[in-house]
């Protein structure tokens, strides 16, 4: 099952034998907001009433209720049917789902030491909870009975898809193992749950633990005023008035690497970033990596697979590690050629400017920015004034109106988990309610790095009525300063469009059931297709206005942006592919016993010829996607899905990029049924054919290498 879409389902799908003395149902007068109707507009979580101490009893009570629900299914004297077994399982665990959604969201976006400790306490509880349902022999027999008799049942497409995936989920969860193997599987899952939490906590602590403090203005050489102002604001928040602080959060680090003329400071900052979790101290993640890989490998073999990648990929469009590796190799070969050409160009620029040093990873951004200005007269700092965060948000709203007729109304009356969060009601063209969207934009020490889209509630059907979703987008965008609003980089603009695509998939979902089984390598299609609109001249004319003058972005700047679209793509693709190949190397490893993590990574990168001037986008000790997220043996999915999104956008270009008919087809065939059917079947229904790789190669400038 796809973890992004079914994690809440899995969290609340089972009986926890490890918790034999759970409390009785809480009294009606309990002040725990999870034990009563929320009583909020649109039934959003009552963040103003939720406290840390509410989570543990709510999780325990959610497990207790789920125990009763599953017991009722198992003890039902009636023969197993789709309704009394499969649908009943899908409908179970609503309380735990609600609690897990809020707890998981706060863990990522607004955590604290109490929540982190609670995560370490509850992770093994929930792992046991999942295992007891997956390894419940009587329940599996009922599921199997329905599955075996499916040909005689009059199930519709969505029901059959749910049944098939439920049965496969039990088998993949160990239902066919003997007693000894089941016991070992439980131990492995317990250990993995704790290691994942520990890994993520270490990455967050490492990210928050480094600050480059500048006291001498001479060390600000080359930095634009806006970057200096941002650093001064960061220093002020850290209690260092009169100084400048840069962190290894991307919005702070990247502009420093782009513009700073202090090479020693660039190295210090970049080295702090790429050595996260690899400093042989209390926050070192290398042993966590080794243990996670070893346990995943053992689990895969226990379940009958040669390695973890084979186990994961069985559920994806790619199906096998061999197919993924062949796909990555096809892309890597022209990418390596292109990145070497780019490195030579950057070295030549350094030499002719009298740099007197050999290009290193901490020089790449700086040299590339100078070369871009030289080639295209385009400076990233010249673009930012036209990408005010509020305007970019307005541009996305306008795009959603053009394509789908949606409207977004800010709701300041809704509870929020942090004062910075914004909440919007989303309505259809006819004014009917579609869902709620929470937006959380800026870095803080309580938030992990990166950007993601999630949900406090995903839609499903209850008593014949659609329960509308409550979607979230969490980012780490450039903060406003004392003198300017939040002005985004081009990368941040693209990220905003990307995450909004995920949220549209959540908002549009029309599945009847709570389970969404989406092949991981198709999950990025809704998000990545949105990126294609971000810098189209037609949409830039709508939202890209100078934050001071209101002037629409000049045509010559748009032209420069278009002409430079292939610039530095060798680097961008190489650092991403290197991380994808590293992920596959870890998860096809036959044996991780005694492995030297740093050496393994170095050998894997040497094996593909990665040039030393480029570091993988994520090194192993901070590769949260694969060691504390849901992308193990799956980081390749972004570029796999890019084949889909590049081909899909061709359909819009053929009829006009704002064509309502094409958008309606994309919504009806892809977004609404997402996770309820085979993704390629959905894609062919939309496009009329399977996708080709050529649009992707053109987009990244790899078609001529």
The phi, psi pair for 120, rounded to 5°, reads -65, -30
DSSP code at position 670: I
Give the position of tokens 């309505």.
Answer: 427
CA atoms within 13 A of residue 305's CA, in its CB half-sphere: 25
Nearest partner of 205 among 622, 525, 610, judged by Cα: 622
Nearest partner of 555 among 386, 314, 413, judged by Cα: 386
Q: How far apart are CA 18 and CA 12, in angstroms?
A: 15
Q: State the helix-helix crossing angle for 250-259 and 225-237, rounded to 10 degrees.
A: 140
Q: Please report, for residues 143, 279, 287, 524, 692, the alpha-carbon distance to residue 646 in angstroms, rounded to integers and kept in the order given.
A: 39, 40, 39, 12, 9
With vertex at residue 550, the alpha carbon angle to CA 545 and CA 554, rounded to the nearest 5 degrees, is: 50
Whether 551 is a known active-site residue: answer no
The β-bridge partners of 700 are none
Look up residue 90 and give its two tokens: 């899908």
Q: How far apart are CA 437 and CA 424, in angstroms?
A: 5
Nearest partner of 276 among 239, 250, 309, 294, judged by Cα: 250
CA atoms within 13 A of residue 139's CA, in its CB half-sphere: 27
H or E stretch at 149: none
Question: What are the strands, taking DSSP E only, across 359-510?
Answer: 407-410, 422-427, 433-440, 452-457, 460-462, 465-467, 470-474
Q: How far apart are CA 442 and CA 481, in angstroms?
A: 12
Start-to-end C-alpha separation, the chain? 37
DSSP code at position 568: T
Catalytic residue among 233, 342, 499, 613: 499
Active site residues: 499
């Amino acid at each position: 099952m796809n973890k992004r879409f079914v994690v809440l389902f899995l969290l609340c799908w089972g009986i926890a034998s490890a918790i034999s003395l759970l409390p009785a149902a809480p009294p009606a007068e309990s002040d725990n907001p999870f034990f009563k109707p929320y009583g909020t507009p649109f039934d959003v979580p009552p963040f103003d009433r939720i406290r840390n101490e509410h989570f543990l009893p709510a999780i325990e009570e959610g497990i207790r209720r789920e125990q009763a629900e599953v017991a009722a299914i198992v003890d039902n004297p009636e023969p197993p049917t789709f309704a009394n077994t499969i649908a009943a399982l899908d409908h179970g665990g609503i309380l735990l789902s609600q609690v897990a959604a809020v707890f998981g969201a706060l863990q990522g976006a607004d955590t604290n030491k109490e929540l982190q400790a609670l995560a370490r306490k509850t992770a093994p509880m929930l792992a046991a909870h999942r295992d007891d349902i997956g390894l419940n022999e009587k329940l599996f027999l009922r599921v199997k009975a329905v599955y075996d008799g499916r040909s005689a049942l009059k199930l519709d497409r969505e029901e059959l898809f749910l049944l098939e995936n439920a049965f496969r989920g039990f088998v993949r969860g160990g239902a066919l193992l003997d007693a000894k193997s089941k016991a070992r599987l439980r131990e492995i899952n317990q250990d993995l749950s704790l290691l994942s939490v520990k890994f993520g906590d270490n990455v967050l602590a490492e990210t928050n633990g480094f600050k480059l403090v500048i006291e001498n203005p001479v060390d600000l050489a080359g930095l634009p005023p806006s970057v200096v102002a941002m650093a001064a604001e960061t220093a002020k928040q850290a209690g260092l008035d009169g100084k400048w602080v840069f962190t290894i959060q991307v919005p702070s680090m990247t502009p420093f690497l782009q513009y700073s003329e202090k090479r020693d400071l660039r190295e210090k900052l970049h080295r702090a970033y790429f050595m996260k979790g690899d400093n042989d101290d209390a926050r070192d993640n290398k042993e966590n990596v080794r243990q996670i890989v070893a346990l995943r490998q053992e689990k895969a073999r226990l379940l009958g697979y040669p390695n973890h990648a084979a186990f994961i990929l069985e559920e994806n469009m790619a199906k096998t590690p061999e197919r993924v590796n062949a796909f990555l190799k096809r892309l890597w070969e022209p990418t390596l050629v292109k990145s070497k050409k780019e490195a030579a160009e950057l070295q030549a620029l350094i030499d002719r400017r009298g740099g007197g040093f050999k290009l290193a990873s901490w020089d790449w951004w700086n040299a590339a920015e100078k070369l871009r200005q030289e080639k295209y007269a385009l400076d990233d700092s010249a673009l930012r004034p036209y990408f005010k965060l509020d305007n970019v948000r307005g541009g996305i709203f306008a795009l959603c109106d053009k394509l789908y007729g949606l409207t977004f109304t800010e709701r300041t009356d809704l509870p929020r988990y942090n004062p910075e969060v914004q909440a919007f009601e989303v309505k259809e063209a006819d004014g009917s309610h579609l869902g709620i969207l929470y937006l959380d934009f800026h870095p803080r020490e309580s938030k992990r790095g990166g950007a993601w889209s999630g949900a406090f509630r995903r839609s499903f059907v209850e008593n014949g009525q659609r329960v509308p979703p409550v979607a979230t987008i969490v980012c780490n965008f450039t903060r406003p300063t004392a003198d300017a609003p939040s002005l985004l980089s081009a990368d941040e603009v693209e990220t905003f469009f990307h995450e909004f695509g995920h949220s549209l998939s959540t908002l549009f979902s029309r599945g009847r059931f709570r389970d969404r089984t989406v092949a991981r390598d198709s999950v990025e299609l809704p998000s990545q297709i949105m990126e294609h609109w971000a810098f189209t001249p037609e949409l830039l004319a709508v939202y890209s206005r100078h934050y001071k003058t209101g002037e629409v972005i000049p045509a010559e700047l748009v032209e420069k942006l278009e002409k430079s679209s292939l610039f530095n793509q060798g680097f961008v693709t190489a650092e991403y592919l290197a991380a994808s190949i590293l992920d596959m190397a870890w998860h096809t490893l036959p044996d991780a016993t005694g492995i030297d993590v740093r050496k393994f990574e170095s050998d894997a990168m040497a094996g593909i010829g990665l040039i030393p001037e480029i570091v993988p986008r994520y090194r192993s000790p901070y590769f949260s996607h694969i060691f504390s997220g849901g992308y193990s043996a799956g980081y390749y999915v972004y570029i796999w899905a890019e084949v889909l999104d590049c081909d899909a956008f061709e359909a819009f270009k053929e009829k006009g990029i704002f064509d309502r008919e094409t958008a309606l087809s994309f919504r009806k065939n892809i977004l609404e049924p997402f996770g309820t059917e085979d993704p390629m079947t959905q894609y062919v229904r939309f496009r009329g054919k399977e996708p080709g790789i050529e649009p992707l190669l053109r987009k990244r400038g790899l078609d001529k290498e």
